[in-house]
């Protein structure tokens, strides 16, 4: 199965259209006010109406309450919930049961110790994401354009598919896929001209580079291909 490509932090029709035209599989909308990529409920509703299958919508939240998640779901009608905070496996399981949607849990990585609990999460999620740990004192968990040591994910024994995030761009996505054999790649700041300002040319270049890398590497398919967890894909 081909690698999944996710363009995250979309806020404008122009940026969304660039992602759709470039051939992204997943488009992400951030519901977290401290982020420069935050999108309000009304804007998310309008943007979400532009998305048609097979492209899938992802609602990104950080330690959200049930009420906030309900508002996100009502506005965007997402195909997937991405939890990017400190949600425990127990909390993830509750959210998955409440909303009856596939869930992706993002975990920050800076050392091998950060992978200790991945198997607990794997029991309650449909998809994992590994992102670079935010700098100390940061007000948000991601979107800083920093990569972590991808070798930490080599030979990862994980029962669910995973996406790679953090510091990716068109210039390094091939190496990232070669090292990790990730099932998908996620980019936000790597396709921006400034925080929160997407660049159509960079979006096109990233998707093109990810597709070319996937074809070149001829990766051995992982079990539980990520497309299987996205309804209708």
Under the banding of pLDDT at 50, 70 and 90, the label for residue 135 is low
pLDDT-based confidence at 186, cuts 50/70/90? very high
- Look at 21-25, 183-187, 222-226 and tell me which has the smallest mean pLDDT: 222-226
Q: Is the peptide bond before 36 cis (omega within 30 degrees of 0)?
A: no
pLDDT band at residue 113 under the 50/70/90 scheme: very high
Catalytic residue status for 131: yes
How far is residue 40 from each of residues 56, 85, 173, 222, measured CA to CA in Å?
19, 19, 30, 36
| Mean model confidence pLDDT for the chain | 91
- Give the mean model confidence (pLDDT) for residues 177-195: 95
Give the model's pLDDT for residue 233: 47
Q: First and final CA of the chain: distance in angstroms?
A: 12
User: How far is residue 106 CA from its own chain's centroid?
Assistant: 8
Checking if the pLDDT of 51 tops 70, the result is: yes
What per-residue confidence (pLDDT) applies to 156?
87
Q: Return the closest-CA partner of residue 187 out of 169, 213, 171.
A: 169
Residues 10, 18: Cα–Cα separation, whole Å: 10
Query: Can you list the domains of the chain with their CATH numbers?
Result: 4-229 (3.20.20.70)
Verdict on whether the full-model pTM lies above 0.85: yes
Mean pLDDT of 211-223: 77
pLDDT of residue 146: 81
Average pLDDT of the residues in 70-87? 97
Cα–Cα separations (whole angstroms), residue 1 to 6, 117, 177, 217, 222 = 15, 27, 14, 13, 8
Which residue out of 25, 79, 126, 131 is catalytically annotated?
131
Q: Out of 8, 25, 183, 186, pick the active-site residue.
A: 8
């Amino acid at each position: 199965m081909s690698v999944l490509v996710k363009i995250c932090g979309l806020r404008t029709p122009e940026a969304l259209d660039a992602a759709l035209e470039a051939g992204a599989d997943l488009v992400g909308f951030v519901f977290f006010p401290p982020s420069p990529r935050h999108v309000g409920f009304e804007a998310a509703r309008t943007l979400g109406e532009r998305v048609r299958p097979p492209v899938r919508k992802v609602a990104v939240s950080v330690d959200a309450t049930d009420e906030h998640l309900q508002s996100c779901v009502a506005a965007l009608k997402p195909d997937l919930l991405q939890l990017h905070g400190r949600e425990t496996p127990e909390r993830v399981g509750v959210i998955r049961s409440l909303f009856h949607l596939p869930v992706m849990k993002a975990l920050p990585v800076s050392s091998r110790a950060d992978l200790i609990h991945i198997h607990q999460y794997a029991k309650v999620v449909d998809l994992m994401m590994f992102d670079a740990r935010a700098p100390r004192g940061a007000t948000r968990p991601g979107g800083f354009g920093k990569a972590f040591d991808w070798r930490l994910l080599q030979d990862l024994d994980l029962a669910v598919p995973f996406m790679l995030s953090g510091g990716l761009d068109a210039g390094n996505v091939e190496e990232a896929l070669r090292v990790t054999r990730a099932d998908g790649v996620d980019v936000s700041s790597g396709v921006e001209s400034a925080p929160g300002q997407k660049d159509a040319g960079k979006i096109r270049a990233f998707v093109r580079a990810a597709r070319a890398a996937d074809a070149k590497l001829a990766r051995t398919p992982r079990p539980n291909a990520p497309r299987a967890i996205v309804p209708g894909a």
